[in-house]
Amino acid sequence: MSIHARIDDLSAPESREIVAEHLADMQGNSPKGSVFALAIDGLREPDVTFWTAWHEDALCGCGALKALDAISGEIKTMRTREAFLRQGVASVIFDTILTEARKRGYENLFLETGTGAAFEAAHQFYLRRGFDWCDAFADSPDTDFNVFMMKTLRDN
């Protein structure tokens, strides 16, 4: 399956729909007050770049890169639509984000996610791509539910 990623300004209904889908899923699988995913306005901030992944005319996933400082970025809003799971969508988005992070000269790439069965596939995905567990970063709230991961880009 051919999948391509492109920068998205969130003006299309499909783009807004996948973000709403992501937020609903995060809220449905997380305790109240433990969801730190960005909504549309947050994804449109100047320090965030948002991509959507497409197979022909079908929107199959999304992801974003948020600048934390001059040498660090954070992965946000990684999502693959259910109909496209295990078909390489997450890898395309991740590789796009990683390429952009390296282009910007980032030395570290961070992410925050939840715990429990709903998040295990994400944990495994990132661990296979060189992320390690870390402490809370930037201004991320540290709760009993969320976990943090980091990948060093300097030598990878």
- In 3D space, the residue among 1, 7, 22, 8 whose CA is nearest the CA of residue 113 turns out to be 22
Q: How far apart are CA 31 and CA 118, in angstroms?
A: 12
Domain count, the chain: 1
Q: State which residues form the domain around 80.
A: 4-152
Give the pLDDT of residue 156: 53
Question: Tokens at residue 23, please?
Answer: 């937020």
Question: Tokens at residue 135, please?
Answer: 């402490």
Give the pLDDT of residue 155: 65
Q: Are 108 and 152 in contact (CB under 8 A)?
A: yes
CATH of the domain at 116: 3.40.630.30
- In 3D space, the residue among 130, 5, 136 whose CA is nearest the CA of residue 63 turns out to be 5
Question: Tokens at residue 96, please?
Answer: 């796009």
Q: How far apart are CA 31 and CA 143, in angstroms?
A: 10
DSSP 3-state assignment of 128? helix
Q: How far is CA 109 from CA 44, 54, 129, 134, in A?
A: 20, 24, 11, 11
- In 3D space, the residue among 62, 48, 70, 73 whose CA is nearest the CA of residue 131 turns out to be 73
Residues of the chain below pLDDT 70: 155-156
Q: Are 115 and 147 in contact (CB under 8 A)?
A: yes
Give the pLDDT of residue 139: 83
Q: How far apart are CA 2 and CA 56, in angstroms?
A: 8
